[in-house]
Chain A
Amino acid sequence: MVWARALIYGIPTVAASLTWWAARETESSFKNRPQELVAMLPQAAPTLHPFLPATEVDRQIIDLVHEPLIRIAPDGHLQPALAERWTWSQTVTCWFVKDEVAAKAAEKLKALDADLWIAWSLEQVEAQGSAVVMRFSKMPIDGPRDAVKQLAEFSPLPVDIIRLEAAEELRSYHEHFMENAVERGQVRRTSWDGPNACELVVCGDTQKFLEEAGNYYQAKPALAVRIEPVSSLPVLGEPTLEFRLRSQTHWHDGTPVTAEDVRSTVEYVMSQPWPVLNRDAFRQIQTMETPAPDTLRVIYRQRYGPAICAWVNFPILPAAWLRDHPADAAGAVFTSATPPGAGEFKVAARNNAQLILRATGEGAVQPRLKQLEFLHGASPFKTQVGFATGMVDLFWPENEAVPELLRDRDLAVRSLPPHSRLQVLWNLRSPVLADPKVRQALALATDRQALVTELLQGRGRVYDGLFAPGLWFSNPATRIPKCDLEQAKKLLQEAGWLHDVNGIARKPGAELAFELLTTAGNPQREQLASLLAAQWRRAGFQVKVSAIPWSELVDQRLSAHQFDGAILGMDFETSWDQLPFWHSSQIGQGGLNFCGLEDRQVDLLLEALRVEYDPDQVPVRAHQLEDLIMARHPVLPLFTDLQQVALRREVLSASAKRDDPALTSTLRDLVFPEASAPPPKPKVPLLVPKE
């Protein structure tokens, strides 16, 4: 009887007590997670491909694990990361007919007044065989030009750049040619653009060299080698970028970070067809030298100021790991193995369900959070469950879900930095759109905020700049005025387009009609095209929307300038080089100046910006260029892409709790405390020498 009673009353009591204890204990342990953050990834497990992140979230995770040489600071300026500092210098080489002449030329330069050396930023002059090598500590053109003028009496030999392109692998043939050619001594430099193409720096009797090379390669018709002189220069100028690495920096496996790691990483990436940002800038590299473990010297083929941008946010990996893990085009190596990084967080666990990052504690700035856990492959319902139970602190919602999320007072929604923009390119050679007033009228007739509301539920970002927003050289000022239909109609009238009773703009015998191209199979773009057409119709335009496949759009219509207007998305780059898109030399086949903008003033600015090395000078020129281009209306910028992140207010730092939808936030911003203002510099009293 006692046992029966004990069972009947004891089991429910014990079960209820245990349930209550388990619930309370679990709740407190799940919610009380100091310095830990759990994020819910919207997609499958991140591949963690450092050079080709699949998503923006992937990129942010990689940014915590892998350290670049240079990164972009929150204020948009360049910030040292693995590199403690970097300096530009240039090496100018002149070749002469004989070694003695070169020696005399070097002597003459050495004998010059020291003030001239200082004025030219000349640091070193050295005779190397028949060449004189001059090293300049700064990048201005004047110094080398004046120095070379001093050598005119010794008749330096001109330098020719010759490009060889083959249908097949060229390297082995070229090496064979160089071993046996009579004129091989004329080849001073060889730089490869992949296995099938190279550029040679030839100095001497170029004609003879071309003849011999032509004869050699004609004997190999299968190669179909094309030999073309690219340019001829009086001297060879080679910009040099030198990085000094931070001391006492280690990989997560404990080995020190060296310049050799940086060199290996670049070679590893360039051996694969991965479309990394600013890849073209890496292709400009002539050689990389590592004179010391903490020093990397990168010598470029030609003057190219934005070359530094290729190193920004470019993750560096250990050379030993790269040797043991050969690269593959698909990047599968990063799925099967996780390379050690040098960032503030290391990968502690990675499986099919979660990814855990833990702080290494070795960085200069200690992160606020010590552990980041990423759960992936979860449904929106699970994300809601996670957030409601306090387990998930951060997730990346769909834009459609954001208005609902904003009602939750415990939750803050922030934007991620934009990575691309949508714009309408105008063909300036189109008969209808050739008049700038017509293009300006189109800009005035466009209600971009309405487009954002319609397409992005009101949480898009109207942007009209040429450069990525948030960088030190991008212009935050808005140039395109707000939608003004009356002004648009007035401009059309000034351009000779008068509106009929139906509101359609006409000229005698012509209607103001054009075709707007968009990408087929992209519903958002097609909807955008329809909305734009509807807006422009109100101003009197007749717009025919055509959706065509991407390849046809670019290869057949844009490249051949057979279009009126086209909606195009473009990724932002951390570079101030806009020459490929707007320079008149890029109008022809293969160029990216689809609009056909041909303006000498713009060309000069683009060229100047391309050889600008001083980051402080870049904004001035960039703003000038932007103003100049936008005044000609070759493009109608619309808005940037928008991804948002929802996060629990508790995990925000105290100073970051302002509620501003325009605020952008990345994992790095969240993990690290906001940079406090630098301490004021002590006022040093001016010491006057005592009499």
Chain B
Amino acid sequence: MLPQPCSRPPWLALRLLAVGAVLGCGLLIGHGGNSRACLKLVAGLPLGAAENGQTSLAGLEMFSRTGLTLALVAAAVLLAGTTASAAVFLSRLAGRSALALLGWMGRLLAFFPVIVLAWWALGWLVGEKGWPIASLLPFQPAPGRQTWEMLAASRLWLWMLPLWILVVPLLGLLVSEFADALRLRQDQPLRDALRARGVPRSWMHYRHIVPQIWPRMLDALERAGLLAMGYAVFVEEPFELRGWGAFFSHSLQTPSVPGIASAIYACGWMAAVWCGLAALIRRLTLPARHPAIAEPATPGAAVPTPAAGAGASPPAGATALLILTVTLLTTGFRPGDAWTFSHEWLEPLLPGLVADLREVGLACALALGLALLRGGIASVAADAARMPQLGMLELVEWAPLLAWAAGLAVVSGTHLPAWILLGTLGACGGAAQLRDRWRRLKNHPAVESARVVGASRFRAWRVHVLPALSRWLLGWVLQLAGVILLWLVLVRCLLPPAGSPSLADAIRHARDSILSDPWPVLLPGTVVAVVASALQQIGRWISGRAGLSSP
């Protein structure tokens, strides 16, 4: 779900701001705007009300709404990060298998659509528990009854509920990342040496292991924040929080091009501030020339890579996923007051799932083609001209891509199906990774050894590089398919109902009666999570076996 940590482009904050402005202006010009409107957008001035009364995000409102959303995202990342750290650090005591299982569970959680979580929480808390939601219905108690506890609790509850909902997918994501990072840094000789000197285990962990994985954790936190900006749209909308996400969602549903353009531009600001903050923390907590903040790798330079197969799914995770998938697909369960087992719930979802998977397949094929084309050209051109990397491909992976994708999907409407958009965006990240992988495999000692013993360049490439590259590509496509499935469903939830079936329709349908029965909304969400994480898990397993062993 997250890009490779080594591909962070320089001046990321400024690039995100610039791309946000370019996208916003592009949307305006594409819908009849002029240079004056673009200038207004960039200057943060109102663009005037659209025909439907929806205005653009500008001035003080832009500041307050983006500030609220950024605060929500920051708090969610902080909470998810600390909770994920606590879970991962505790589970390391149970061994590598426990870490692997935890990582798998994290991925399953990360693929659960956040919109489903938000609506289910709303339905369950309001409909079944009867807890108040102050953002939906403000309440003014009679004078004399207002106590500071009441005011403080009301304000706190207003924000804590959306915060925890936003935390859930981020927690899954970060647990998966942290567990992987920790597993890769379980340096047995170092551990034995420290133990021989009588160093306690906790000291060993916090003084030696954590500093090693901290750069990767920091990268993961930064990228989780960018992803959370997209998720904020789906959390703020049902709770009607007065943040950027609710405005964006309203603009998407209206739909209002000035609103969407200004929201995308404002999102660029948020992303820039967030990445600037991350850079500051990185500067304060990491050594000056740590590899994770080093300049992008120049062609031919050795790039630190995880050991072959290190990221692969361990048997425990794969087995658990397989069992869960088979159980869901063959028996089915119906959560609710009584947990009854039946097939009935799955049958209405199957047409939507099949239709979505068909579009995911098309998107993946498009992404693969574009990635091969763009990545191949980039690699060959870079090799030939020794030209410096501009980092434009990596930038797409480091952007608040979900928010941009939602905006572009709504604006393009019927002209450009969502799967084409998602496939194209996915291809950008794939091209960057393909280029890195190409360089890494080309400079691998096995290839050099083959050339030394007289193998031709093509033979060395066919025997050593091609099989590994093919496996990696297959793994990448499968992982991308999981992400595209999730995002396709999320974006479709914002679009008006289409003629073709989709899991988003099932979510929308269940949402209509969310207060009386909140449980049905979980079913399409569970299907998305299981199928997407299954694709991701298989992809990880194949990718993990795509490395070359040293001669």
Contact = CB atoms under 8 A, between A and B. Distances in A.
Contacts of B145: 33
Interface stretch (A8-16, A229-237, A454-462, A527-535): A8-16
A347 to B, nearest CB: 14
Contacts of B163: 15
Contact of A392 (B134, B137, B152): B137
Contacts of B133: 385, 389
A349 B140 CA distance: 10
Nearest to B85: A8
B91 to A, nearest CB: 13
Nearest to A349: B140
Contacts of A370: 142
A389 B126 contact: yes
Contact of B160 (A1, A22, A375, A384): A22
A385 B126 contact: yes
A15 B79 contact: yes
A391 B136 CA distance: 11
Given A4-B210, A26-B154, A18 B126 contact: no
Interface string A373-389: 10100100110111011
A19 B132 contact: no
Contacts of B131: 23, 26-27, 389
Contacts, number: 119
Given A7-B82, A388-B515, A358 B164 contact: no
Interface in A333-361: 349, 353-354, 356, 358
B124 to A, nearest CB: 11
B402 to A, nearest CB: 25
Interface string A623-654: 00000000000000000000000000000000
B157 interface: yes
Given A12-B82, A388-B130, A382 B136 contact: yes
Nearest to A33: B141
B89 A8 contact: yes
B150 interface: yes
A30 interface: yes
A624 to B, nearest CB: 52
A371 interface: yes
Interface string B257-289: 000000000000000000000000000000000
A381 B238 CA distance: 11
Contact of A36 (B78, B89, B134, B141): B141
Given A19-B160, A21-B153, A371-B142, A26 B82 contact: no
Contact of B153 (A4, A25, A384, A389): A25
B206 interface: yes
Contact-residue bracket for chain A: 35 or more
Given A1-B202, A389-B126, A9 B86 contact: yes
A172 interface: no
B153 A29 contact: yes
B451 to A, nearest CB: 47
B227 to A, nearest CB: 20
Given A25-B150, A29-B150, A389-B130, A1 B82 contact: no
A18 B140 contact: no
Nearest to B206: A1
B86 A8 contact: yes
Contacts of B138: 353-354, 375
A390 interface: yes
A36 B207 contact: no
A189 to B, nearest CB: 54
A382 B239 CA distance: 11
Contact of B83 (A12, A19, A371, A375): A12
Interface in B90-148: 126-127, 130-134, 136-142, 145, 147
Contacts of B207: 1
Contacts of A356: 140
B77 to A, nearest CB: 11
A657 B157 CA distance: 34
B160 A390 contact: no
B147 to A, nearest CB: 8
Nearest to A35: B142
Contact of B157 (A10, A26, A388, A392): A26
A9 B130 CA distance: 30
Contacts of B89: 8
Contacts of B152: 22
Given A15-B79, A386-B137, A389-B131, 17 more contacts: A1-B203, A1-B206, A8-B89, A10-B82, A19-B157, A25-B149, A26-B150, A26-B154, A31-B132, A33-B142, A38-B139, A354-B140, A371-B142, A385-B137, A388-B515, A389-B130, A390-B132
16 contacts: A4-B206, A5-B206, A10-B82, A11-B78, A11-B82, A19-B157, A22-B156, A22-B160, A29-B141, A31-B132, A38-B139, A358-B142, A370-B142, A385-B126, A388-B130, A391-B139
Cβ-closest 8 pairs across A and B: A25-B153, A22-B156, A22-B157, A389-B132, A11-B82, A30-B132, A19-B160, A12-B83
